[in-house]
Amino acid sequence: MRRRLRNLGYSTLCQGQHVAWGGIEPMVALVVAADATSALRVASHVFTNDLHNPVLLWQAATTLDVFSDGRLEFGLGAGWLRSDYETCGVPFEPPSARIARLEEAVRVIKGLWNHEITQFTGDYYRVTAPAWPLEPSQRPHPPIFLGGDGRRMLTLAAREADIVGLGADPARATPEETDRRVGWIREAAGGRYQELEIQIGVQAIEITDNRRRAAEEIVERFATATSHLGIAAAPLTPDYVLASPRFLVGAVEQIVEELHARRERYGVSYITVHGDAVDAFSPVVANLAGR
């Protein structure tokens, strides 16, 4: 699978963390993926912060960056899926507490990578830096990925991350809402905005000449999937699907044009797709790569 992704033109393998949904553990998966190819980058999109100690996560991420010869993208999130917490027996606190804890974890991890702390005492963590810290291959550290829907999360991402993800909820990703979130990022990032890479995850892809029918089928699948996974989400409409940057529907040439338009409008240059869409999306990847 890892070699096939690279052969199809993809640059990065991303692995998330949702314990309640089962599946593979992300750190182990990324190690295996990095070992299977020398070219594909590997990314944690994302570790759930509340399920990890920041020092141990820093150590594991640094080790992976060393063993992969500097191919890690390090993604960390505040956590949003209540069932993940219930599965692990961890209290699911309000968003304000989860984001505040994430802010501290990012300070600890970046501080260890940048040699800026020997001891840290915050509201959530009290840690001491190792006497002989491991150095990552990428300096000063692997690219950091943070993202979210709300202003506080996107402000944190704009100030601390290298890659900023535009939201996780496909039911709230209208063009207007996306414009607003990009505005928050631009405001918070200030002079470093041009250095950021803006990411968006595509929820569904359909290569088709019948856009309306394909959008109707996506609406049906989305309703079934959210119900099965226990996610409360507003119902979609075909018009919403065709307008939202979280979906790609149309012929290959139409989708390529749409991606160029989204880059111009939102600054999006990093697109992620689900594993079951890898083959369907590959003609678009080849077109964008000029193959």
Which of 24, 12, 6, 149 lies closest to 71, judged by CA? 12
Question: Tokens representing 181?
Answer: 């979130």
> Residue 268 in 3-state DSSP?
strand
Domain range list for the chain: 2-202+252-288
Question: Are the beta carbons of 227 and 219 closer than 8 angstroms?
Answer: no
Give the model confidence (pLDDT) of 11-66 as tens digits: 999 999 999 988 899 999 999 999 988 889 999 999 999 999 999 999 999 999 99
Task: Give phi and psi for 244, each to the nearest 5.
Answer: -75, 140
Q: What is the CATH number of domain 2-202+252-288?
A: 3.20.20.30
Give, in order, the Cα–Cα distances in Å from 190 to each of 57, 169, 183: 29, 26, 11
pLDDT tens, residue by residue, 146-185: 999 999 999 999 999 999 999 867 778 899 999 999 999 9
What is the pLDDT of the chain when averaged over all its residues? Answer: 93
pLDDT at 45: 93
The single-letter code of the amino acid at 179 is: D
Q: State if pTM tops 0.75.
A: yes
Our CA dihedral for 224, 226, 232, 233, rounded to 10 degrees, sits at: -80
- DSSP per-residue codes, 89-108: T-----HHHHHHHHHHHHHH
Distance (Å, whole) CA 99 – CA 76: 11
More confident residue, 4 or 254: 254
Write down the H helix ranges in 114-231. Answer: 151-160, 175-189, 211-229
* Rounded distance between C-alpha atoms, residue 44 and residue 272, angstroms: 12
One-letter amino acid identity for 110? Answer: K
pLDDT (0 to 100) of residue 271: 95
